[in-house]
């Protein structure tokens, strides 16, 4: 059945959403007979209470942990309202036979453009020039000290997925030399795209500017920690529009204060909103934006619509190409045989 015949087919729970798009999921799912129930979960206990009896979940930031998944007897699908899915215990979902899908490409252009804007701002020293002019100076050489030609800058891109690859393409297009590290992508593909493949260590030592686009996992948490930041070229710059947990923020603030790093630009943080007592708020030569790289009106509408549509598709037996744990099917089949 793909349309409502007046019967309630079940419940889809939106565990949380801070997006100004309420009603989009309802317009997708309710005509197909699904009741949409919204919550504002922040903790596992709140998810447990809100998700009871749900046939599917749409999750933005709420933690979906193994203990909760074990209690979701009716749940057949989890849709992540975004790209990353580190707030969901995917291994536990797989073991429970529950597929997890994300929306991996709704904002590739927006994030890549935001990243490039940061890279160019750091390279051309725009914040310093702006501050000098506002303070009454007219001193291009003094306030713009350190500005460079893009053709004289090596940009290192860590992670060569959809966004990382687009950032590399755009950076090369404005003149940066691009080196790439991604252990899951062959050197041949990187070379075919016109860039240079490098190990993690080689990239840190060679790049004048590093932009990180890796998923946040146990293995990548604090990928850029104190020792890694110390390995970067003195005075180099760092950009993160991906996941805050990839960088040790205390170590980053210290590296900026000491001058080991010349500048940085961050759109994402380990805790969001950024705490008032974060050392980043007082670090020198640091540009900040409030997890805004993904945003455009088009991306905003597309995100919730697609997150809801893949719920409808899966529950009606249509294929969903964005499932991140295809092993769920084997686990589900094994459970059915017990």
**Does residue 5 lie in a domain region?**
no
For residues 256 and 332, state if they share a domain.
no
For residues 120 and 265, state if they share a domain.
yes
Structure tokens at 51: 């998700």
pLDDT tens profile 223-256: 999 999 999 999 999 999 999 999 999 999 999 9
**Does residue 4 lie in a domain region?**
no
> Shortest CA distance to 79 belongs to which of 322, 292, 333?
322
Q: Is 282 a catalytic residue?
A: no
What b/e readout covers 158-186, taking b as 16+ CB neighbours within 10 angstroms?
Answer: bbbbbbbbbbbbbbbeeebbbbbbbeebe
pLDDT tens profile 211-221: 999 999 999 99
Does 4 have pLDDT greater than 70? no
Work out the pLDDT band at 22, boundaries 50, 70, 90: confident
pTM of the model: 0.91
**Does residue 141 lie in a domain region?**
yes
Q: Please state, in angstroms and rounded to a whole number, the distance separating the CA atoms of residues 178 and 197.
A: 9
Arithmetic mean of pLDDT, 65-73: 96
Structure tokens at 320: 């969903």
**Does residue 2 lie in a domain region?**
no
**Does residue 117 lie in a domain region?**
yes
For residues 257 and 329, state if they share a domain.
no
The pLDDT of residue 264 is 98
3-state helix, strand, coil in the chain (%, to 5): 40, 15, 45
Q: Is 272 a catalytic residue?
A: yes
For residues 128 and 238, state if they share a domain.
yes
- Structure-token match 């293995």, residue found: 219
Evaluated on CA atoms 115, 116, 118, 119, the torsion sign reads positive
For residues 140 and 266, state if they share a domain.
yes
Does 122 have pLDDT greater than 60? yes
Does 209 have pLDDT greater than 80? yes
The pLDDT of residue 306 is 98
For residues 202 and 176, state if they share a domain.
yes
Q: Is 291 a catalytic residue?
A: yes
Which residues in 188-292 belong to E strands, given as ranges? 196-197, 209-212, 236-240, 261-266, 286-288
The β-bridge partners of 14 are 38, 58
Structural domain count, the chain: 2
For residues 303 and 318, state if they share a domain.
yes
- Sequence-ordered list of residues with C-beta below 8 angstroms from that of 138, at least 6 positions apart, any chain: none
| Domain containing residue 329 | 10-105+297-337
Q: How far is CA 24 from CA 220, 272, 297, in A?
A: 34, 25, 13
Annotated catalytic residue, options 181, 243, 304, 306? 243
For residues 123 and 252, state if they share a domain.
yes
CB 39 within 8 A of CB 56: no
The pLDDT of residue 28 is 97
For residues 283 and 312, state if they share a domain.
no
Q: Please state, in angstroms and rounded to a whole number, the distance separating the CA atoms of residues 69 and 203.
A: 39
Does 6 have pLDDT greater than 80? no
**Does residue 239 lie in a domain region?**
yes
For residues 90 and 17, state if they share a domain.
yes
- From its phi and psi, is residue 154 left (phi > 0), alpha (psi between -120 and 50) or beta? beta
Does 2 have pLDDT greater than 60? no
For residues 210 and 303, state if they share a domain.
no
Annotated catalytic residue, options 272, 281, 282, 318? 272
pLDDT tens profile 284-315: 999 999 999 999 999 999 999 999 999 999 99
Q: Please state, in angstroms and rounded to a whole number, the distance separating the CA atoms of residues 9 and 315.
A: 10
> Residue 250: in which H helix or E strand, if any?
helix 249-258
The pLDDT of residue 189 is 98
Q: Please state, in angstroms and rounded to a whole number, the distance separating the CA atoms of residues 235 and 40.
A: 43
pLDDT tens profile 88-120: 999 999 999 999 999 999 999 999 999 999 999
CATH of residue 276's domain is 3.40.50.720
Q: How far is CA 194 from CA 1, 152, 198, 216, in A?
A: 49, 17, 13, 27
Does 275 have pLDDT greater than 50? yes
User: SS3 of 122, please?
Assistant: helix
User: SS3 of 231, please?
Assistant: helix
Does 59 have pLDDT greater than 60? yes
Q: Please state, in angstroms and rounded to a whole number, the distance separating the CA atoms of residues 251 and 236.
A: 15
User: SS3 of 261, please?
Assistant: strand
The pLDDT of residue 1 is 44
* DSSP per position, 150-203: GGG-EEEEE--SHHHHHHHHHHHHTT-EEEEE-TTS-HHHHHHTT-EE--HHHH
**Does residue 1 lie in a domain region?**
no
For residues 149 and 264, state if they share a domain.
yes
pLDDT, the chain, mean? 96
Annotated catalytic residue, options 38, 162, 189, 291? 291
């Amino acid at each position: 059945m793909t349309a409502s015949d007046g019967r309630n087919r079940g419940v889809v729970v939106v565990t949380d959403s801070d997006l100004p798009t309420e009603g989009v999921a309802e317009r997708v799912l309710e005509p197909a007979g699904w009741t949409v129930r919204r919550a504002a979960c922040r903790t596992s206990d709140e998810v447990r209470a809100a998700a009871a009896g749900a046939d599917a979940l749409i999750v933005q930031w709420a933690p979906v942990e193994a203990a909760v998944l074990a209690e979701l007897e009716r749940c057949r699908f989890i849709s992540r309202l975004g790209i990353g899915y580190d707030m969901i215990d995917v291994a536990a979902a797989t073991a429970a036979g529950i597929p997890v899908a994300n929306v991996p490409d709704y904002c590739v252009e927006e994030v890549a453009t935001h990243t490039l804007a940061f890279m160019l701002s750091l390279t051309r020293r725009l914040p310093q020039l702006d501050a000098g002019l506002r303070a009454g100076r007219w001193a291009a050489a003094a306030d713009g000290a350190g500005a460079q030609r893009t053709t004289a800058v090596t940009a290192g891109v860590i992670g060569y997925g959809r966004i990382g690859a687009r950032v590399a393409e755009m950076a090369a297009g404005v003149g940066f030399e691009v080196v790439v590290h991604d252990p899951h992508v062959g050197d041949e593909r990187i070379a075919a795209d016109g860039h240079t493949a490098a190990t993690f260590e080689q990239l840190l030592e060679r790049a004048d500017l590093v932009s990180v686009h890796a998923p946040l996992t146990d293995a990548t948490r604090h990928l850029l920690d104190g020792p890694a930041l110390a390995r970067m070229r003195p005075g180099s710059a760092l950009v993160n529009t991906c996941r805050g947990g990839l960088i040790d923020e205390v170590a980053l603030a210290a590296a900026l204060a000491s001058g080991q790093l010349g500048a940085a630009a961050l759109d994402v943080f380990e805790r969001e909103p950024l705490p008032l007592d974060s050392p980043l708020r007082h670090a020198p030569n640091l540009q900040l934006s409030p997890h805004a790289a993904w945003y455009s009106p088009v991306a905003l509408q597309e995100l919730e619509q697609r997150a809801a549509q893949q719920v409808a598709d899966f529950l009606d037996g249509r294929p969903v190409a964005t499932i991140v744990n295809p092993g769920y099917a084997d686990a589900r089949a094994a459970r059915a045989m017990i």
